[in-house]
Amino acid sequence: MWRRVASLSALISSTSNRCFLDQVAYRMSTCKLFSSEVKENPLTLKDLFITFVLGGPGSGKGTQCAKIVETFGYVHLSAGELLRREIASNSEYGSMILNTIKDGKIVPSEMTVRLIQKEMELSNNHKFLIDGFPRNEENRIAFETIIGADPDIVLFFNCPEEEMVKRVLNRNQGRVDDNIETIKKRLKVFKASNLLVVDYYSDKGKLFEIDATGTEEEIFERVRPVFAAFQV
């Protein structure tokens, strides 16, 4: 079943989030994606309903997002897919993202947020599933600053680590990061950074924790009541 969570502080250690503010401010002042000209945000004219979809690798986020789209008419935006698409387009920003990854660096939060923003502005829909983002506090702050909106709800697919590892190894999607060593590293990063975001939205009363074990249909039956309660 799903449950609305008041706090997940027991899952993670108490950590100050304010140190990220200076990092975001610096990146936002230097990133080439930002124009010096201040423009009106078209998204402020939309009656947005934003859902963040969080969970570790192999927790089933993408599968459940597809079912939510089909059943409730949301637009699914995967942060990872948007980055891969931008790289494949050979655009100026795609080359910048590719070079950043090749250099072993993390793609700046504002780059990813700008890609999400572009898709949201082009859509005629107002209901969005943001899949796999924000991954950390810097991502979260950048999203809220640039988009000018908080998520309405946050889904957290809670799945045991051994089950996530098994699913990733069995999905056979040809991804270079679908190997046991990389999966363990990704799970370590998830615990260290993503759970801080989970805890933040839990404290704000926006988090819905989904038991992500069982079949796809069993899991969706836990998801369905959440969106049925927020028919918009």
Q: Is 18 annotated as a binding residue?
A: no
Q: Is 61 annotated as a binding residue?
A: yes
Residue carrying the six token digits 């998830």: 190
Please tell me whether 84 is known to bind a ligand.
Answer: yes
206 annotated among ligand-binding-site residues:
no
Is 183 labeled as ligand-binding?
Answer: no
| Residue 193 DSSP symbol | I
Decide if 87 contacts 97 (C-beta within 8 A): yes
Taking CA 228 as the corner, what is the angle to CA 225 and CA 232, rounded to the nearest 5 degrees?
Answer: 150
188 known ligand binder: no
171 carries a ligand binding annotation: yes
- Lookup: tokens for 93: 């920003």
Number of neighbouring beta carbons within 10 Å of residue 168: 23
Is 186 labelled a binding residue? Answer: yes
What is the C-alpha end-to-end distance of the chain, expressed in Å?
22
Ligand-binding annotation for 58, yes or no, is yes
Is residue 59 part of an annotated ligand binding site?
A: yes
> Is 107 annotated among the ligand-binding residues?
yes
Are residues 152 and 49 in contact, defined by beta-carbon separation less than 8 angstroms? yes
Nearest to 197 by CA among 135, 113, 155: 135
Is 222 annotated as belonging to a binding site? no
Question: Does 224 count as an annotated binding residue?
Answer: no
* Strand 49-55 relative to strand 127-131, pairing: parallel
Residue 85 labelled as part of a binding site: no
Residue 24 marked ligand-binding: no
Which residues make up each annotated binding site?
A: 58-63, 84, 105-107, 132-135, 139, 171, 175, 186, 214
Instruction: State the binding site for ATP.
Output: 58-63, 171, 214
Binding residues for CMP: 139
Binding residues for a ribonucleoside 5'-phosphate: 84, 105-107, 132-135, 175, 186
